[in-house]
Structure 1
Amino acid sequence: MKGISRRNFVKNTALATGAASIIGTAEAKPAKELFVHHVYFYLKNPSSEADKAKLLEGLEKLSKVPTIRMVHIGVPAPTTRSVIVRDYSISWLCFFDNLEEEEIYQKHPIHLKFVEDYSHLWEKVNVYDSVGPKR
Protein backbone atom coordinates (compact mmCIF):
# COMPACT_ATOMS: atom_id res chain seq x y z
CA MET A 1 0.00 0.00 0.00
CA LYS A 2 2.39 2.58 -1.21
CA GLY A 3 1.36 6.20 -0.57
CA ILE A 4 -1.39 5.59 2.00
CA SER A 5 -0.97 5.60 5.74
CA ARG A 6 -2.47 2.90 7.93
CA ARG A 7 -4.71 5.55 9.55
CA ASN A 8 -6.08 6.67 6.16
CA PHE A 9 -6.53 3.07 5.06
CA VAL A 10 -8.56 2.28 8.18
CA LYS A 11 -10.57 5.50 7.81
CA ASN A 12 -11.32 4.84 4.12
CA THR A 13 -12.25 1.23 4.85
CA ALA A 14 -14.66 2.39 7.56
CA LEU A 15 -16.22 4.94 5.20
CA ALA A 16 -16.64 2.35 2.46
CA THR A 17 -18.18 -0.12 4.90
CA GLY A 18 -20.56 2.56 6.21
CA ALA A 19 -21.58 3.57 2.69
CA ALA A 20 -22.17 -0.06 1.74
CA SER A 21 -24.35 -0.59 4.81
CA ILE A 22 -26.39 2.52 4.01
CA ILE A 23 -26.87 1.40 0.42
CA GLY A 24 -27.81 -2.09 1.58
CA THR A 25 -30.21 -0.67 4.16
CA ALA A 26 -31.69 1.73 1.63
CA GLU A 27 -32.43 -1.16 -0.69
CA ALA A 28 -34.04 -3.16 2.12
CA LYS A 29 -36.30 -0.26 3.13
CA PRO A 30 -38.82 1.48 0.93
CA ALA A 31 -36.88 4.00 -1.19
CA LYS A 32 -38.76 6.96 0.29
CA GLU A 33 -37.27 6.31 3.73
CA LEU A 34 -33.66 7.41 3.08
CA PHE A 35 -33.26 11.20 3.09
CA VAL A 36 -30.09 12.70 1.59
CA HIS A 37 -29.00 16.27 2.40
CA HIS A 38 -26.13 17.69 0.32
CA VAL A 39 -24.84 21.21 0.90
CA TYR A 40 -22.25 23.04 -1.18
CA PHE A 41 -20.54 25.94 0.58
CA TYR A 42 -19.07 28.85 -1.35
CA LEU A 43 -16.64 30.70 0.89
CA LYS A 44 -16.40 34.50 0.77
CA ASN A 45 -12.62 34.05 0.64
CA PRO A 46 -12.15 30.77 -1.25
CA SER A 47 -8.36 31.03 -1.26
CA SER A 48 -8.19 31.43 2.54
CA GLU A 49 -6.93 28.22 4.12
CA ALA A 50 -7.84 29.67 7.53
CA ASP A 51 -11.48 30.11 6.49
CA LYS A 52 -11.59 26.57 5.06
CA ALA A 53 -10.12 25.21 8.29
CA LYS A 54 -12.64 27.16 10.36
CA LEU A 55 -15.60 25.85 8.32
CA LEU A 56 -14.24 22.30 8.55
CA GLU A 57 -14.03 22.76 12.33
CA GLY A 58 -17.69 23.79 12.37
CA LEU A 59 -18.78 20.88 10.20
CA GLU A 60 -16.99 18.43 12.50
CA LYS A 61 -19.05 19.86 15.37
CA LEU A 62 -22.21 19.71 13.25
CA SER A 63 -21.62 16.03 12.54
CA LYS A 64 -22.50 15.33 16.19
CA VAL A 65 -26.24 15.90 15.61
CA PRO A 66 -27.66 12.54 16.68
CA THR A 67 -30.16 12.06 13.83
CA ILE A 68 -27.38 11.99 11.20
CA ARG A 69 -26.81 8.40 10.11
CA MET A 70 -23.65 9.10 8.06
CA VAL A 71 -21.76 12.20 7.00
CA HIS A 72 -19.11 13.04 4.42
CA ILE A 73 -17.20 16.32 4.29
CA GLY A 74 -15.42 16.92 0.99
CA VAL A 75 -13.61 19.34 -1.29
CA PRO A 76 -13.69 19.40 -5.10
CA ALA A 77 -12.04 16.35 -6.60
CA PRO A 78 -9.33 16.87 -9.23
CA THR A 79 -11.60 15.56 -12.01
CA THR A 80 -11.82 17.62 -15.18
CA ARG A 81 -14.67 16.29 -17.30
CA SER A 82 -16.93 18.98 -18.80
CA VAL A 83 -19.88 18.00 -16.59
CA ILE A 84 -17.97 18.34 -13.31
CA VAL A 85 -18.78 21.34 -11.11
CA ARG A 86 -15.77 22.40 -9.04
CA ASP A 87 -16.59 26.00 -8.08
CA TYR A 88 -17.61 25.27 -4.47
CA SER A 89 -15.24 25.28 -1.50
CA ILE A 90 -16.56 22.47 0.73
CA SER A 91 -19.38 19.96 0.45
CA TRP A 92 -21.41 18.52 3.32
CA LEU A 93 -23.28 15.29 2.59
CA CYS A 94 -25.37 13.56 5.22
CA PHE A 95 -27.90 10.78 5.33
CA PHE A 96 -30.98 10.50 7.53
CA ASP A 97 -33.45 7.69 8.06
CA ASN A 98 -36.30 9.87 6.84
CA LEU A 99 -37.54 13.44 6.37
CA GLU A 100 -38.58 13.72 10.01
CA GLU A 101 -35.03 12.99 11.19
CA GLU A 102 -33.68 15.68 8.84
CA GLU A 103 -36.24 18.18 10.18
CA ILE A 104 -35.03 17.43 13.71
CA TYR A 105 -31.48 18.12 12.49
CA GLN A 106 -32.54 21.48 11.02
CA LYS A 107 -33.91 22.62 14.41
CA HIS A 108 -31.26 20.98 16.57
CA PRO A 109 -29.25 23.37 18.80
CA ILE A 110 -25.96 22.13 17.28
CA HIS A 111 -27.20 23.05 13.78
CA LEU A 112 -28.52 26.43 14.90
CA LYS A 113 -25.20 27.17 16.65
CA PHE A 114 -23.29 26.12 13.51
CA VAL A 115 -25.22 28.62 11.38
CA GLU A 116 -24.78 31.34 14.01
CA ASP A 117 -21.02 30.77 14.43
CA TYR A 118 -19.91 29.99 10.87
CA SER A 119 -22.31 31.61 8.36
CA HIS A 120 -20.09 34.68 8.16
CA LEU A 121 -17.57 32.52 6.27
CA TRP A 122 -19.72 31.76 3.22
CA GLU A 123 -21.25 33.93 0.54
CA LYS A 124 -23.78 31.30 -0.53
CA VAL A 125 -24.79 27.70 -0.13
CA ASN A 126 -26.57 25.38 -2.51
CA VAL A 127 -28.64 22.64 -0.90
CA TYR A 128 -29.77 19.49 -2.66
CA ASP A 129 -32.18 17.31 -0.69
CA SER A 130 -33.35 14.05 -2.17
CA VAL A 131 -35.42 10.99 -1.40
CA GLY A 132 -35.85 7.80 -3.36
CA PRO A 133 -38.40 7.81 -6.16
CA LYS A 134 -41.73 6.12 -5.59
CA ARG A 135 -41.75 2.74 -7.31
Structure 2
Amino acid sequence: MKEFDSNFAHTVFFWLENPDDIQERAAFEKSLQKFLDNSAYAKTKFIGKPPKASRDVVDGSFTYSLIVTFESAEAQQAYQDEEPHKLFIAESSALWTKVIVYDSKGIN
Protein backbone atom coordinates (compact mmCIF):
# COMPACT_ATOMS: atom_id res chain seq x y z
CA MET A 1 0.00 0.00 0.00
CA LYS A 2 1.24 3.45 -0.84
CA GLU A 3 0.70 6.49 1.34
CA PHE A 4 -2.94 7.42 2.01
CA ASP A 5 -3.89 10.60 0.14
CA SER A 6 -6.66 12.41 2.01
CA ASN A 7 -7.74 14.51 -1.00
CA PHE A 8 -10.08 11.90 -2.47
CA ALA A 9 -11.01 8.42 -1.21
CA HIS A 10 -12.85 5.85 -3.31
CA THR A 11 -14.30 3.01 -1.23
CA VAL A 12 -15.94 0.09 -3.01
CA PHE A 13 -17.78 -2.92 -1.57
CA PHE A 14 -18.32 -6.05 -3.66
CA TRP A 15 -20.76 -8.89 -3.06
CA LEU A 16 -19.75 -11.93 -5.09
CA GLU A 17 -22.49 -14.15 -6.48
CA ASN A 18 -20.74 -17.27 -5.19
CA PRO A 19 -18.67 -16.05 -2.23
CA ASP A 20 -17.79 -19.59 -1.11
CA ASP A 21 -16.41 -20.61 -4.52
CA ILE A 22 -12.62 -20.66 -4.07
CA GLN A 23 -11.91 -20.50 -7.81
CA GLU A 24 -14.17 -17.50 -8.33
CA ARG A 25 -12.61 -15.71 -5.35
CA ALA A 26 -9.13 -16.40 -6.74
CA ALA A 27 -10.14 -15.12 -10.18
CA PHE A 28 -11.63 -11.96 -8.66
CA GLU A 29 -8.57 -11.31 -6.49
CA LYS A 30 -6.19 -11.88 -9.42
CA SER A 31 -8.12 -9.53 -11.69
CA LEU A 32 -8.42 -6.85 -9.01
CA GLN A 33 -4.73 -7.02 -8.12
CA LYS A 34 -3.72 -6.87 -11.80
CA PHE A 35 -5.90 -3.79 -12.23
CA LEU A 36 -4.41 -2.03 -9.21
CA ASP A 37 -0.85 -2.95 -10.21
CA ASN A 38 -1.43 -1.29 -13.59
CA SER A 39 -3.43 1.77 -12.53
CA ALA A 40 -1.61 5.00 -13.30
CA TYR A 41 -3.73 7.02 -10.86
CA ALA A 42 -4.49 4.99 -7.73
CA LYS A 43 -2.35 5.75 -4.70
CA THR A 44 -3.52 3.72 -1.70
CA LYS A 45 -4.49 0.25 -2.95
CA PHE A 46 -6.15 -1.63 -0.11
CA ILE A 47 -8.09 -4.85 -0.74
CA GLY A 48 -9.93 -6.25 2.27
CA LYS A 49 -12.35 -8.91 3.44
CA PRO A 50 -14.82 -8.49 6.30
CA PRO A 51 -13.68 -9.62 9.73
CA LYS A 52 -16.03 -11.44 12.04
CA ALA A 53 -18.42 -8.72 13.19
CA SER A 54 -18.20 -8.10 16.91
CA ARG A 55 -20.75 -5.27 17.10
CA ASP A 56 -24.22 -4.70 15.68
CA VAL A 57 -23.10 -1.56 13.81
CA VAL A 58 -20.56 -3.50 11.70
CA ASP A 59 -21.82 -4.59 8.28
CA GLY A 60 -19.88 -7.69 7.30
CA SER A 61 -22.22 -8.75 4.50
CA PHE A 62 -19.82 -7.86 1.66
CA THR A 63 -17.26 -10.25 0.16
CA TYR A 64 -14.45 -7.74 -0.60
CA SER A 65 -13.72 -4.09 -0.03
CA LEU A 66 -11.41 -1.80 -1.92
CA ILE A 67 -10.02 1.52 -0.72
CA VAL A 68 -8.18 3.61 -3.28
CA THR A 69 -7.06 7.21 -2.81
CA PHE A 70 -6.27 9.90 -5.34
CA GLU A 71 -4.65 13.31 -5.41
CA SER A 72 -7.84 14.84 -6.85
CA ALA A 73 -11.35 14.16 -8.15
CA GLU A 74 -9.93 14.59 -11.64
CA ALA A 75 -7.40 11.79 -11.03
CA GLN A 76 -10.24 9.58 -9.79
CA GLN A 77 -12.20 10.27 -12.98
CA ALA A 78 -9.15 9.41 -15.10
CA TYR A 79 -8.88 6.15 -13.13
CA GLN A 80 -12.50 5.34 -14.04
CA ASP A 81 -11.66 5.77 -17.72
CA GLU A 82 -8.29 4.01 -17.84
CA GLU A 83 -7.90 0.69 -19.64
CA PRO A 84 -6.89 -1.41 -16.57
CA HIS A 85 -10.15 -0.38 -14.84
CA LYS A 86 -12.24 -1.24 -17.89
CA LEU A 87 -10.48 -4.61 -18.19
CA PHE A 88 -11.15 -5.40 -14.52
CA ILE A 89 -14.86 -4.72 -15.01
CA ALA A 90 -14.94 -6.86 -18.16
CA GLU A 91 -13.15 -9.74 -16.43
CA SER A 92 -14.94 -9.64 -13.09
CA SER A 93 -18.40 -8.11 -13.35
CA ALA A 94 -20.00 -11.51 -13.94
CA LEU A 95 -18.66 -12.61 -10.54
CA TRP A 96 -20.53 -10.04 -8.45
CA THR A 97 -24.19 -9.41 -7.72
CA LYS A 98 -23.83 -6.04 -6.04
CA VAL A 99 -21.35 -3.18 -5.83
CA ILE A 100 -21.64 -0.07 -3.66
CA VAL A 101 -19.26 2.87 -3.99
CA TYR A 102 -18.64 5.63 -1.47
CA ASP A 103 -16.52 8.55 -2.68
CA SER A 104 -15.27 11.15 -0.22
CA LYS A 105 -13.33 14.39 -0.47
CA GLY A 106 -11.10 15.33 2.45
CA ILE A 107 -12.31 18.17 4.67
CA ASN A 108 -8.86 19.71 5.04
Q: TM-score, normalised by structure 2?
A: 0.91
CA RMSD of aligned residues (A): 1.5
In structure 1, what is the Cα distance between the partners aligned to 2:61 and 2:22?
Answer: 16
Q: Mind listing any 5+ residue stretches in structure 2 that lack a counterpart?
A: none
Shift of 1:132: 1.6
Instruction: Find runs of 4+ consecutive structure 1 residues off by over 6 angstroms.
Output: none
Structure 2: which amino acid aligns with 1:70?
T
Equivalent residue number for residue 36 of structure 1: 9
Q: TM-score, normalised by structure 1?
A: 0.74
Equivalent residue number for residue 83 of structure 1: 57
Q: Which has the higher contact order (CA 8 A, sep 6+)?
A: 2
In structure 1, what is the Cα distance between the partners aligned to 2:28 and 2:64?
Answer: 8
Equivalent residue number for residue 53 of structure 1: 26
Shift of 1:79: 3.3
Contact residue 9 and residue 68 of structure 2 kept, 8 A = yes
The structure with more radius of gyration: 1
1:95 to 2:86 alignment: no
> What is the number of equivalent residue pairs in this alignment?
107
